[in-house]
Structure 1
Amino acid sequence: MKVSPSALLPILRSGTVGELLARFYLDPDRRYTLTELAKELDVSLPTIAREVDRMRESGLLTEERVGRARVVWANRRSVLYEPLSLLVALTYGPRPVLEQLLSDVAGVDSGLIYGSWAARYQGEPGAEPNDVDVLVIGAPDPDQLFDIADEARRRLRREVSIRSVKPSVWTDADPRDPFLKHVKSRPMVELDLKGDAV
């Protein structure tokens, strides 16, 4: 199977590499087993092991054995730590950062990223995304969403806009509604708002 380079960061061999770097470098104190990573990213264990081996051998990760499990985390002593953290935040950061910020917010049923970032994440070629567009399904406090967008903007160093729609509007969208018609016709990235986000 041929793996395509990441459309978000074409210098990466694959989107899996970007997702791994986001897990490690956006939450550098968190430690993962290879099994946890494979499950979170829905990627085979041998693929995760190969990518982690490459990152560990290059000094990007630290590893220890706990029983039979390999536990890995970001190597903060690497000279690449700070610049790589910034690069990962700018490219693969939106999904884990928004999952963390939106998890457990009262009134949020689900959420997704749409627009150019979602298109690049899904592999659609194109220019670097200028912003991150988020749609929240539910009835959260608008002021809280504004604060979350502001915090996401600070962490991701790019504009973040969050819109919300009631679940009934999303589920039974009027086919004449140009906004929802556009969102549903283009790539979307669902946010896992109940899992362990970064």
Structure 2
Amino acid sequence: MRTAPPLLAPLFRSDGQARLLAELFLSGADELNLHELARRTDLAYGTVHREVRRLLDVGLLWERRIGQARYVRPNPDSPLTQPVRDLLLVSAGPVPLLAVELGAITGVQAAFLFGSFAARMRGEPGPPPNDIDVLVVGDPANPAAVYDACRRVGDQVGREVNPTIMTRDELAHHTGFLTQVRDSPVVPIIGELPWR
């Protein structure tokens, strides 16, 4: 299935390609096998296989085989590696970077993007977003750690990351804010969306 170029990063051929590149270049994993890459990006294995082949052909990725398993990682010798990483940081970077940062905080059960950045990632037209809104679900033992993590990611992607922390009990209330978030596009970061 062919998808349109992502609105936040129209230089990439498709949303799937941008997600795959973001996972490879920004997730912090040393290398990933193709099955794990397909799972993390929610792409079909065949799609991942084709995209990886294209990226290997242009020298952007490096491959290692162990038996039948194929492991790939960014090619440190390619002159394109750093520019691609820089583009991804600004366009697709918040999701894998926030997954690493928030996933390490005790008490965080789920997190997802909402607001204009999530809407552009989901293909809704509109002006470029100035900041990134994140809803963090759980009861973190140290809420300051969530704010610090979001600040670090914001510094990396060049946009302010604004976290809102709510417990699962607070999500059960029917406030105007929560109604708007539930009715708008969201992008999962970690965990399951609490109302789906």
Residue 40 of structure 1 corresponds to 40
Residue 150 of structure 2 corresponds to 149
Residue 61 of structure 1 corresponds to 61
Residue 79 of structure 2 corresponds to 79
Displacement, 1:192?
2.0
Query: Which one-letter code corresponds to 1:79 in the other structure?
Result: P
Displacement, 1:2?
3.6
Report if aligned partners of 1:6, 1:12 keep a CA contact under 8 Å in 2.
Answer: yes
Residues 80-116 of structure 1: per-residue CA shift (max 9 Å, x gap): 1111111101111111111111114122221111011
More displaced 10-residue stretch of structure 1: 63-72 or 84-93: 63-72
What are the residue-to-residue correspondences of 1:37-186 with 2, within 5 Å? 37-140=37-140, 141-170=142-171, 172-174=172-174, 177-186=175-184
Q: Taking every aligned residue pair, what percent have the same amino acid on both sides?
A: 36
SS in 2 for 1:127: coil
Residues 3-51 of structure 1: per-residue CA shift (max 9 Å, x gap): 2211221121211111111122124661111111112222111111110
Instruction: Give unmatched runs, 5+ long, in structure 1.
Output: none
> 1:182 & 1:29 partners in 2: Cα distance?
35
More displaced 10-residue stretch of structure 1: 9-18 or 104-113: 104-113
Q: Could you tell me the TM-score, scaled by structure 2's length?
A: 0.90
> 1:181 & 1:115 partners in 2: Cα distance?
12
Q: How many residues align?
A: 191
Residue 188 of structure 1 corresponds to 186
Instruction: Give unmatched runs, 5+ long, in structure 2.
Output: none
Residue 24 of structure 1 corresponds to 24
Report if aligned partners of 2:136, 2:166 keep a CA contact under 8 Å in 1.
Answer: yes
> 1:45 & 1:142 partners in 2: Cα distance?
38
SS in 2 for 1:116: helix
Tell me the C-alpha RMSD between the 2 structures: 1.7
Residues 61 and 14 from structure 1, CA distance in 2 versus in 1: closer, same or farther, beyond 3 angstroms?
A: same
